[in-house]
Structure 1
C-alpha cells in the first residue's frame, strides 16, 4: 500500500514539473500568447549630446562666446572671441576634427582662446560627424543583383572627389565667414585640425581663395578621398600654407611627401608653403600648446597683410616662427 501511494505521488510530481507547452499539447484549447510591451528604440545622437553638454559647460561664464549660426537649412554652434588688442588683424576660422566639438581641448581650445591676445579674433564652428557612431551597420548582400550601398559619396567622373558632408560643411563655412564680416573683420584665415584640415584645404582650393592663409594641423583625409587625391588640392592653392604635421608612421611621412610635391608644382611659388614635422611638439600640456600658439601666430604675422600691428615678434626662439633660408 505504501509503495502504491509513493508511486502515485512521484507520478504527480513528474507531471507538474513538465513545461507548460507540453501540458498544453493534450489540450484542445489554443494557449494564450502572453503580450509583451516593448518600448520604442531611441537612436543615440552623440553629436547633439556633445554640443548640448558643451553649451551647458560654457553658459555660466562664457555665454558671450556662444553664437547660433544659420547656414540656410539649419542652425549650428559657433564660439566667437573678439580680438584682444586695439589693432585687430583679422579672424581665424577653426574647423575641429571628426567626433569633436568647437572647444576641443587638443589644438582648438588653446588656439581659439590665445590668438586674440595676438590681434586675431577667432570663430570655431561645429563640424558635422563624418559617420555616426550610432548608425546601424548594414551587412552587404552576396547577391550580385542587389542594389549597392550608396551611403558614401561617389567621386565625380571628372577626376575630382567630393568629401563626405562636403556641401554641408562648405555651407557652414560660408555662413561663418558672413558672421565674421558682420562683426567688422574683413581678413580671414582658415585653421583645420585633422579631418577639419581636409575640409579647410578642399574649401580653399575649390573656391580659389587668395591673399589669406591656411593652417593645416595633423591633417587626415575624409572618405572617399584618398590621401593622394586630397594632397593634389594643394597644387591649385593661391594662399600661404602652414602644414604642421606629426611624422609618427610611414603613412604620415608618405602623405606629407605628397603634399610637399603638390606644393612644388604650384605656379605662384611666392606664396609660402611651410611644412613642419612637429613630432617633438606632440605632447600635452601648456608647453606644447604654447609652441603651437607661437608657430601659428608667427606664421600669420609673416604671411598675411598686417595693418600697423604694435606687438612685435619676440627676439627669442625665432626658429619657432619660420625656417632659416637654405644657403
Structure 2
C-alpha cells in the first residue's frame, strides 16, 4: 500500500467514530442536579390603621396607664380615658365625645375638661370615635356597556341613532344613583359604629357605679351625641352638653331638628365670635322656643385668642356651673 494511503486511513477511521460518540452523549443527557425552587407566596399586606387608631396608639405612650381603658364595641376595640372624681361621693360621670379630627385628649375642650371635671366631683370618660367612611372619596362606579341591539331595517327610524346627550345622561343617572346608595350605606354604618361606642362608654360608667351620667359632645361630637340621644333615648343619661357644636359633612337630619326631639335638659354652649356659629345657635334656640316644654338652654362664650389657658378655664367654669348650679361661680 502506498505511504499516502497508509497515513490517510487512521484519519478516516477517526472521523467516522467521533460523530457516533457525540450522538450517544446527546441522546443521554445528564439529569439536572438543581431543583426548581418552590414559588414564593406573595407577602400579604396588613390592613392600614384608621387615623384615629394611629393617634390613639401614639397617646398610649404618653398618657398614664391607669387612665387608659380599652373598651369593646362590636368588633371594634377603642381607647378611652377614665379619671375618677376626686370626691368620696362623686356626683356622677361625664362622657366626653370629641369631634372630627380630635383625640381623647385634644387640647381644646376635650383634654382640659376631662382633667378638670374630677375636681368638680364628676368622673370623666373621653372616648375615641372611628373615622367616618362616608367622608372618604366616593368610589368610582364602572358600568358594563349593554350589548347594542341589531337595527330594525323595517322601522321608520331605523337609521336614526339615539342622541349622544341622552345616552350619556342615562349612564350618569345610573352612576349617581349607585354612588348615592353607597354613601347612604356608609353613613348608616358610621352612625352604628359611633352609637356602639357610646353604648360601651355608658356601660363602663355604670360599671364604675356612676350615680348620674351626662354626655358632653364637642364639635361634630355634639351632633353625634345629639343624634344618639334622639334615636336611642337611653334612660341612664340625665343631661346633655353641646360645646361649639358642628354638623358633619353630608349629615342628616340637621342639628336644630335633633335638639327639638331631646327629652332631657340640654345646654348649648357656643362661641359668639363667628357669625355662622352664632346664626346656627340662634336657629337652635328659636326651634326650642316653639316647643311647649323644653329643657334647652344656651350659654354664649367669647373666644380668647392667644390665651388658650384662660379660654379653657372659662369653658370649664360654664360647664361646672351648669352641672352644679349650687356651686356656680360667675
Q: TM-score, normalised by structure 2?
A: 0.69
Change (3 A) 1:79 1:207: same
| Structure 2 residue matching 1:76: 3-state secondary structure | strand
- Name 1:102's counterpart in structure 2: 104
- Name 2:318's counterpart in structure 1: 295
Matches within 5 A, 1:235-314: 235-269=260-294, 271=295, 273-281=296-304, 284-302=307-325, 313=327
Change (3 A) 1:200 1:282: farther
Provide structure 1 residue ranges, at least 5 long, that are not aligned to the other structure. 1-37, 156-161, 303-311, 319-327
- Deviation string 1:62-96 (CA, Å, 9 cap, x unpaired) is 10011111113221111101111122100000100
Change (3 A) 1:220 1:73: same
Question: What is the distance in 2 between the residues matched to 1:283 and 1:259?
Answer: 29
Provide structure 2 residue ranges, at least 5 long, that are not aligned to the other structure. 1-42, 143-167
Q: TM-score, normalised by structure 1?
A: 0.70
Residue 196 of structure 1 pairs with residue 218 of structure 2? no
Check conservation: 1:77, 1:125, Cα contact below 8 A: yes
Per the TM alignment, residue 249 of structure 1 is displaced from its structure 2 partner at its CA by 3.9
| Structure 1 residue matching 2:254: 3-state secondary structure | helix
| Structure 2 residue matching 1:106: 3-state secondary structure | coil
- Name 1:153's counterpart in structure 2: 184
Check conservation: 1:281, 1:291, Cα contact below 8 A: no
Change (3 A) 1:126 1:284: farther
Check conservation: 1:209, 1:239, Cα contact below 8 A: no
* 1:225 paired residue among 226, 240, 251: 251
Question: What is the distance in 1 between the residues matched to 2:323 and 2:204?
Answer: 21
Count, aligned residues: 258
Change (3 A) 1:268 1:118: same
Per the TM alignment, residue 207 of structure 1 is displaced from its structure 2 partner at its CA by 2.4
Per the TM alignment, residue 266 of structure 1 is displaced from its structure 2 partner at its CA by 3.0
Residue 54 of structure 1 pairs with residue 59 of structure 2? yes
Change (3 A) 1:80 1:41: closer
Determine which structure has the larger helix proportion and give its number: 2
Change (3 A) 1:301 1:39: closer
Check conservation: 2:226, 2:259, Cα contact below 8 A: yes
Matches within 5 A, 1:108-119: 108-119=110-121
The CA RMSD over aligned residues, in Å, is: 3.0
Question: What is the distance in 2 between the residues matched to 1:187 and 1:230?
Answer: 25
Question: What is the distance in 2 between the residues matched to 1:206 and 1:41?
Answer: 36
Larger radius of gyration: 2
Question: What is the distance in 2 between the residues matched to 1:231 and 1:297?
Answer: 24
Question: What is the distance in 1 between the residues matched to 2:205 and 2:259?
Answer: 25
Question: What is the distance in 1 between the residues matched to 2:50 and 2:185?
Answer: 26
Change (3 A) 1:174 1:297: same
Check conservation: 1:164, 1:222, Cα contact below 8 A: no
Change (3 A) 1:56 1:299: same
Per the TM alignment, residue 204 of structure 1 is displaced from its structure 2 partner at its CA by 1.4
Check conservation: 1:69, 1:78, Cα contact below 8 A: yes
- Name 2:14's counterpart in structure 1: none
Check conservation: 2:213, 2:239, Cα contact below 8 A: yes
